[in-house]
Amino acid sequence: MPKKHRLLKRGNTFYYHRRVPPHLVDALGKKVVKVSLGTGNLSKATQLRSIKDVEWDATFRSAEMQAADAKTMPLMTEALAVSLVRAFVEERDAEWAKRLANDPPASEDERHEMLKEAFEESGFLSEADDPEGHRAIWHAHQKITDGSAYQFNNQTFSNSEFAELIRRALLELSRREVARLKHDFSKSSFDVLFASQSALSAKTSKSSTKTFGELCGLYFDQYKKDAEYKNVAEKRIDKIKASLELMKEIIGEDALVSEINLERCMAFRDTLSQVPTNVHKHYPNLSIAMAIERALADGRTRLSHTTQSLHLGTLTSVLRLGHKLGLLPMVPSEDLKPWATKTHDADKRRPFTSEELRTIFTAPIYTGCRDDGHGFSRPGPNVIRRARFWVPLICLFSGMRANEVCQLDVADVKTTAKGCRYFDVNDSGEKKLKTPTSKRGVPIHPELVRVGFLNYVEQLEKIKNVKLFPELKAGKYGYMSQPLADWFTASFLPSIIEKDGKIGLHSFRHNFRDALRLIEAPDWVLQKLGGWSLSKGVSDNYGSGYTPDQLQPYVESIIYPGLDLSHLHVDVVPSATAKATLLIV
């Protein structure tokens, strides 16, 4: 058999790829089986392929048996599955206890060897992609079902959920084996699913009154402690808090944790798929059900795939805590996916079109407005060259992130020994960078010089200003760009362009990336100018990297066809109706 038989590699991941027999296509609802093996290693992929071959051979045999037999196969429900795995554990555990009593280890060395084997078994059962773990689960599956075929309704209880119960059963047996070999009889079970009825009753009597709201509170308290230790951003903490509030509103703050099952979790997912974006902002006084109904009539956009994934992931994390506390026998929301179309990264944001760029840079704030505050969109005599004027231009001609631009100090505009003027992107003081590769030197494009940027810097140096844009204040989460980005997206763009939800201040970075492609800039130029992590070579971690002098020719080559900014050049005499003010502080 060829080494890559039934293996298909996409990117860095191997997939199990196998055609379904033609006579089973209708029964299985697919022509081809395509399953990610979660590895890019060919040796490991071939091992996993063997396991998938066994699994799908059994699936095909089961489908053929069902087609040949007029009688319907029995349905595997969650209750039946739990009953079967519990019986399996008790039977195997009793066998092991009897065998150990009749034939104990002959020496301490033999006992240690048996312990080593038990620990190894726990190890491969704990690894999701371990072939030995898959094989053990498959054999246990055959024993538990006595080789009989069962139907699975994936909406209520799936084959993968059954496999997870079997994995837990095998781990329980392994842990009991270790305990006995260590002469530790302090616990009759380790997983609440396999606790004796008396122990379960005692635990349930204490926990059956725990509400979902209380569990969410416990989870958030722990999350905040972990977040402080891991230095998680406040913005992320607020997102989790908002997610918990939405969950409590949909599921019910007073709902008993013990009553939350797969059906309740699926109902949560169903409701979540209908919730509009910014629900409490648009419908602050309405219940979720009423808000969904009103939003449908108003034609509002629903939560994205990403946001729904966040809420479902948070729910699973909360219920995992409930499981660890012994409040739930399993995590019913595990593996639930959003009912929303996933948006590819390339479709979330787009660059501005040539026409949109022309419209932006001929708006009143660039050709003459009343002021750069509330009067930015009203024609007037002033071209006020402060942050709202400069930041979009710098983003377009440098590719820098908006916050990298907005937090610049005057001292960050530097000159190399060879005379190249550049932006020094750094994280000194209170500045924030997205990634370590964000530190870099970006040459200043000649068009920014023609528009008068260096004149602007010189004026700030004369009055000893520290910040390049002193009027900017940090937003709620400490980012200097947040207020300006909000203004640009929510106020400036709607005043001149019909928005489609895919453009904002970050779009200039997409324009810059396209401009680099247009001049066929090599990967190292893309990496250094944009602060992207493209190269994986070990040698890239050595030396001081590429200098602004080396990058300057590429920056100077960047053009935007159809965009004429000559009306902004400092050597152009302002018209009688428009006065160019270089600096207003």
Residue 205 lies in a domain: no
Contact 356, 497 (CB under 8 A): yes
Q: How far apart are CA 201 and CA 203, in angstroms?
A: 5
Domain region containing 226: 212-343
**What gap in Å lies between CA 546 and CA 531, rounded to an integer?**
12
Final residue before a domain boundary, out of 151, 174, 197: 197
pLDDT score of 160: 83
Res. 9: pLDDT tops 80: yes
Lowest mean pLDDT among 153-167, 286-300, 512-526: 153-167
pLDDT in tens, 163-196: 888 988 888 888 888 888 888 887 878 887 787 6
Q: Tell me whether residue 151 is in a domain.
A: yes
Determine, yes or no, domain membership for 206.
no
Lowest mean pLDDT among 400-404, 462-466, 540-544, 548-552: 540-544
Q: Based on the domain organization, do 187 and 161 belong to the same domain?
A: yes
pLDDT of the residue at 43: 84
* Token reading at 47: 């091992």
Arithmetic mean of pLDDT, 84-112: 86
Q: For residues 400 and 392, is the Cβ–Cβ distance under 8 A? A: no
Tokens of 491: 């106020």
Q: Kindly tell me if the per-residue pLDDT of 460 is higher than 90.
A: yes
At which of 167, 197, 227 does a domain end?
197
pLDDT at 284 over 70: yes
Which CATH number does the domain housing residue 336 bear? 1.10.150
For residues 368 and 269, state if they share a domain.
Answer: no
In a domain, 19, yes or no: yes
Pairing mode of beta strands 579-581, 440-443: unpaired
End-to-end CA gap in the chain: 75
β-strand partners of 383: 580
Residue with the bigger pLDDT between 444 and 9: it is: 444
Same domain, 373 and 249: no
Q: Can you give the pLDDT at residue 541?
A: 44
pLDDT at 208: 62
Q: Are residues 502 and 531 in the same domain?
A: yes
Query: Do residues 267 and 284 both lie within one domain?
Result: yes
Long-range contacts, 72-77 (Cβ 8 Å, 24+):
72/151, 73/149, 73/150, 73/151, 74/148, 74/150, 74/151, 75/150, 75/151, 75/152, 75/153, 76/150, 76/151, 76/152, 76/157, 76/159, 76/162, 77/156, 77/157
The answer to whether 329 touches 339, Cβ cutoff 8 Å, is no
Q: How confident is the model over 359-382, as pLDDT tens digits?
A: 999 999 999 999 989 999 999 999
Rounded distance between C-alpha atoms, residue 434 and residue 427, angstroms: 10
**Phi, psi for residue 77 in degrees, rounded to 5:** -95, 170
User: Can you read off the two tokens belonging to residue 22?
Assistant: 């033609």
Q: Is residue 572 part of a domain?
A: yes
Q: What is the pLDDT of residue 4?
A: 77
pLDDT at 568 > cutoff 90:
yes
Average pLDDT of the segment spanning 78-99: 86
CATH number at residue 385: 1.10.443.10
What HEC string does 229-241 produce? HHCCCHHHHHHHH
Higher pLDDT, 420 or 179: 420
What pLDDT score was predicted for residue 66?
64
Question: Across residues 356-360, what is the average pLDDT?
Answer: 96
Predicted local confidence at residue 357, as pLDDT: 96
Q: Please check whether residues 115 and 174 belong to one and the same domain.
A: yes
Q: Is residue 226 part of a domain?
A: yes
Residue 128 has pLDDT above 70, yes or no: no
Question: Taking the CB of residue 353, how many other CB atoms lie within 10 A of it?
Answer: 14
Same domain, 435 and 527: yes
257 and 306, same domain (yes or no): yes
DSSP code per residue over 111-165: HHHHHHHHHHHHHHHHSTT-HHHHHHHHHHHHHHHTT---B-BTTTB-HHHHHHH
Distances (CA, A) of 89 to 137, 142, 271, 332, 381: 13, 14, 37, 21, 83
For residues 154 and 218, state if they share a domain.
no
pLDDT at site 345: 54
pLDDT, mean of residues 317-323:
92
What pLDDT does 499 receive? 74
Whether residue 170 is contained in a domain is answered as yes
Q: Are residues 155 and 48 in the same domain?
A: yes
> Which of 445, 446, 455, 442 is CA-nearest to residue 385?
455
- For residues 252 and 294, membership in a common domain is answered with yes
Q: What is the mean pLDDT of the chain?
A: 84
Buried b (16+ CB within 10 A) or exposed e, 191-222: bbbbbeeeebeeeeeebeebbbbebbeebbee
Q: How confident is the model at residue 268 (pLDDT cuts 50, 70, 90)?
A: very high
Does residue 207 form part of some domain?
no
CA gap 300, 278 in Å, rounded: 10
Domain count, the chain: 3
Q: Which of 286, 314, 343 is the last residue of a domain?
A: 343
**How high is the pLDDT of residue 70?**
35
For residue 453, what are the contacts with CB-CB under 8 A and spacing of at least 6?
A: 390, 393, 394, 444
Handedness of CA 170, 174, 179, 183 (dihedral sign): positive
Task: Tell me: do 331 and 378 sit in the same domain.
Answer: no
In this prediction, residue 164 carries a pLDDT of 87
What would the two tokens of residue 156 be? 């209520």
pLDDT confidence tier of residue 336, bands split at 50, 70 and 90: confident
Tell me the C-alpha distance between 251 and 267, whole Å.
9
